[in-house]
Chain A
Amino acid sequence: MRALKNTALVVLVAMSGLAAECFEITDPFVVAVNVKDIKNTYNVTPGTITFVPGCITKNPADYIDSNFDIANGAQLVDIIVQTTGTFAGNINGGQVRIGGSTQALQVLVNYSGPWSAFNTPQSLLQNSTGLSLNQAGVTTLLSLIENTSPIVICHSGAFSQAATAGMAIDISIFAQVNASP
C-alpha cells in the first residue's frame, strides 16, 4: 500500500512538472504598442497669411509608458489633419515637420486644399485629398520613437487670404512601437 501511495505522489509531481514543461511564454514577447498623444493643435491668429507658429515638443513620457522595453521596430500607421472653424480660403503649402530638435527637422507630411475640405478629417488612410507623405520624415519619426527621444513637431504654410477668428489646425499621428511589457 505504501508503494502505491509513493507511486501516486510521484505521478502527481510528474504531472505538475509536465504541465509546466509544455507551457512556455514567448520570449521576447513583443506587442505593437499604440503610441499616444503625438498630436498638436495650431490655433490660427486672425489676420495671419503665412504661418510658422513655432514648435512643440513631445517628451517620451507623453507618448509611451515607461514600463515597456522598446524592441526593434516601429510603424507609422496614419496621419490625420483636420481644421476647425469657418474660412472661405485655401491652405497652401501646409507642412508638418518633425525632428529631434528645431535644428534637425524633416517634412513629414505636406497638405494643401480648401480649408472647408479639411473640416472633415483628412487622413492618409481615408479621405486623403491633399495629403502627401515624405519618406525622410517617416524615417526620422520612427527613429525618434524607437529611441524614445523627444519629438519636435512644427507647423508651417500659408492661407490664400487673411485668416479669420476661430480657426485651428489639428495634426494627429498614429504610430506603433514594438515593445515588451
Chain B
Amino acid sequence: MTSSFMRRLTAIVSAGVAVTTIAKPARAQSGLESVIEQYSGARIQGYIQPLADALVANLSIGYINSATSPRKFSFSLEAVAMTAKISESMRMYTAATPDGFQPATHETSTIFGGPAQPVQHSTLPGISYRGADGLVDAEYFPTAAPQLRIGGLAGTEVVIRYASSSMVPFLEDEDFPDLTLWGIGVQHSISQYLKLPIDLSVAASLNSLKFGDIVDLSSTSFGVNVGRSFGLFGVSGGIVSDGGTMNLTYTSTDPDGAGSVDVDLDVKRSVRFRAGAALNFGFIRLFGDAAFGDIVSYAAGLRLGI
C-alpha cells in the first residue's frame, strides 16, 4: 500500500476513535422511564407509538450515498444525522381513562405533545385523571450515528452503524436512558449485470435501538434505487419499504395493570419514496437523503474515505 493510502486510513480510524470515546457519567432513572412506568401495557401504546414511528423512519435512511456500488475496494467512515418530521397527528392521541371512568376516553398528549390537561369525571365531582406531558418539544426528532462503509465486494457495499449515548449529545441523561444503536445496511449493484444508462441497485438494512432496559426497537428496510453521477455531483431516487417493532419491558405502577409489562408495539410497514444527492470531492463526500411517505425523514452526512 502507498504511504498516501496509509495516511488516509490512519486519519479515518483516528476520526472514528475520537467520535466513539467521548465519555459520560452513569445515569439515574430518566424522564422517559419515569413516564412509561405510570402506564399499563394497554395504555402506553398511544403515548409512545409516535416515537417508534419516528425512529423507524430515521433508521431506515442514511445508508445510501449513491445508486451504485463501487467495483473496486473502498473504505470510509461517515457521520450521519437523520431527522423525522413530527406531524400534528403525532402529538395527540385518544387515550383510555381508568376502567369505569366517564368519559371512557380523552384526547391527550403523546410523547411529542404539549402539556397534558386533567379530565374531570362527568358525574363524580372531585374525581379526575391526567396523562403525562409530552416529553419532546420538537418539530423534528433527530438520530445520529457514525458508520463504517466497505465497498467493492462484487458490486456490494456494506455499511455498519453504531452509536451510544456518549455520541448523541442532545439526548440528556435525565431525559432518556442509555442509548445503544446499531445497524447494518447492504447495497448491491444491479446495473453491473445490465447495460443501462443509469445506475440501478437494491438495498436493505437491519437496525436495532435500545434505551436502557426498557425500550428495544428493531426495524428493517429494503428498496430499489436508481441514480446517476454528473462529475462531482450525483443524484439518486427510489422506493424504500420500512417497518419494525418496539418492545417495552418495565414494571407498571398503573392500578389497572400494575406489575411486569412486556408489550410489542408494531410499526406498520410503509412504502416511501426517497431522493438523495451527493457532492463528491474525492476523499470527502457530502450526502443528503430524504424519504417521503406517512412520515417524512431526512438524512445528511459527511463521508471521509477512499
Contacts and interface: CB of A to CB of B under 8 A. Distances in A.
Given A19-B170, A181-B174, A34 B254 contact: yes
Contacts of B136: 23-26
A135 B125 contact: yes
A26 B134 contact: yes
Given A4-B281, A16-B144, A77 B129 contact: yes
A56 interface: no
B140 A67 contact: no
A5 B137 contact: no
B156 interface: no
B133 A125 contact: no
Q: Chain B interface mostly helix, strand, loop or mixed? A: loop
Interface in A36-90: 36, 67-68, 73, 75-78
Point out which of A1, A34, A67, A68 has the most chain B C-beta atoms below 10 A from its C-beta.
A34
A114 to B, nearest CB: 21
Contacts of B138: 22-24
B192 interface: no
A106 interface: no
Contact of B115 (A30, A34, A135): A30
Contacts of A19: 81, 83, 140, 142, 144, 170
Interface in B128-152: 128-142, 144
A165 B139 CA distance: 64
Interface string B139-181: 1111010000000000000000000000001101011000000
Nearest to A19: B142
A133 B127 contact: yes
Contacts of B126: 76, 133, 135, 138
A33 B127 contact: no
Contacts of B141: 23
Contacts of B255: 34, 77-78, 172, 174
Contact of B284 (A4, A34, A172): A4
B281 A1 contact: yes
B140 A124 contact: no
Interface stretch (A7-15, A91-99, A147-155, A156-164): A7-15
Interface residues of B, number: 55
A73 B132 CA distance: 13
B28 interface: yes
B118 interface: yes
Contacts of B238: none
Contact of B129 (A5, A23, A33, A75): A75
Contacts of A126: 99-100
A123 interface: yes
A112 interface: no
A32 interface: yes
A98 to B, nearest CB: 13
B261 interface: no
A20 interface: yes
A11 B118 contact: no
Contacts of A135: 125-126
A126 B286 CA distance: 61
Nearest to B142: A19
Contacts of B169: 16, 20
B199 to A, nearest CB: 23
Contacts of B196: none
B206 interface: no
B132 A32 contact: yes
Contacts of B98: 77-78, 125, 174
A76 B128 contact: yes
Contacts of A11: 286, 302
A25 B135 contact: yes
A91 to B, nearest CB: 21
A113 to B, nearest CB: 18
Contacts of B124: 124-125, 133
A123 B124 CA distance: 12
Interface of A: 1, 4-5, 8-9, 11-12, 15-16, 19-20, 22-26, 29-34, 36, 67-68, 73, 75-78, 123-126, 133, 135, 138, 172, 174, 176, 178, 181
Given A12-B79, A20-B169, A26-B135, 6 more contacts: A19-B142, A76-B128, A123-B100, A124-B127, A133-B124, A138-B126
